[in-house]
Every structure is written in structure tokens, then in C-alpha cells.
Amino acid sequence: MSTSNPLKTDMAWSAPVRHPPHLMDYPIRSAEKLRFADTDCNGHISNAVFAVCCQNARMELLHDPRRVPLPIDAQFVIVRFEIDFLGEMHWPGTVVIGTRCEHIGRTSLTVAQVLFADGSCAASARSTVALMDRATRRATPLPPETTSALESFRAAQNGILQTCWQGRQE
């Protein structure tokens, strides 16, 4: 009969290795000016402003009919939002938000985002967004043309990224 601990093993447990985010991995870019009014009592940009920056960049993608066509009787709504705070942002300054579609499902999609200030990643975020029928207020399937448009924002294609930041190709 063994008296050793059955839960103890020689195998070391560790968290998955995460590589730092790179802005180049996000095909859509937008910029936000950081305002003095955005600072908190600690002198850095408030956590709530991080979420607002993500929302503004997400809306630039999802509510531009030239990018993502939608049926007239439908709209995108956010159903989940997660953010990892990786560093501080300070005023004065600008934050660049990188956005990409990470997963596209039948009625919803996952949007991944990063916030870069002063050359370093200050946060990464993930949103689940569903397409909602305006009349029934229920999730509705993504039309094929919407899905096709969203697919183009998943990652770099042929080394050329689609970008809205300053309206230029990189």
C-alpha cells in the first residue's frame, strides 16, 4: 500500500505561454485622443475609458454599411465583454486600437481588440456581438454577405492589412 499523495506528480504545472500582442495582427486600426478628463485620481487613464475606446473601434467596423452590410431590420448588440489590463495609459496622448474578427458563428461573432499607447500594449479585449432582429429583439442568423464581409477582417491577407486608421494601407 502506497502512502504517497495521489495528487502529487513530478510533472510541473504552468499557465499557458502567452505571447505579447502585436498591432500588426489586427487588420483594422483606429485612434482615439486621450483627454485630461479621462484621467482618474491616480493620474492615469480611467479603466472605463479603455472600454469606451474598444466600443468606438468596434462600432467603426460593425456600423459601417460599406464594410459590413446588414439587413435594415437588424442591428449588432454586445452580449459579452472581457478586458485584460496590461499597462497604464496617460494624458496627453493617443491610443491606437487594433480590431479583428476572431470567430464568426451562426448569429454572433467574437471581436478581438488591443489598445496600444506609447508603443506598448495597454490592454487586450474580447467582445461577443450578436445580430439582433429589431422587431423580435431576438438573435437572428448572419446573412451570407455579412459573414463574407466579416471574414475579410479576420487576419492579414497576402501581407496587406485593411485599416481605417488614417485611411491608409499598411
What's the pLDDT score for residue 166? 33
Answer yes or no: are the C-beta atoms of 104 and 63 closer than 8 Å. no
Which residues are CB-contacts of 79 (< 8 A; sequence separation ≥ 6)?
108, 128, 129, 130
How much is the pLDDT for 158? 39
Alpha carbons 116 and 55: distance in angstroms, whole number: 15
pLDDT of residue 12: 54
HSE of 46 in the Cβ direction (CA atoms, 13 Å)? Answer: 11
pLDDT in the model for residue 21 = 85
Spans of the chain, pLDDT less than 70: 1-18, 156-170
* pLDDT, position 16: 53
Confidence at residue 130, expressed as pLDDT on a 0 to 100 scale: 98
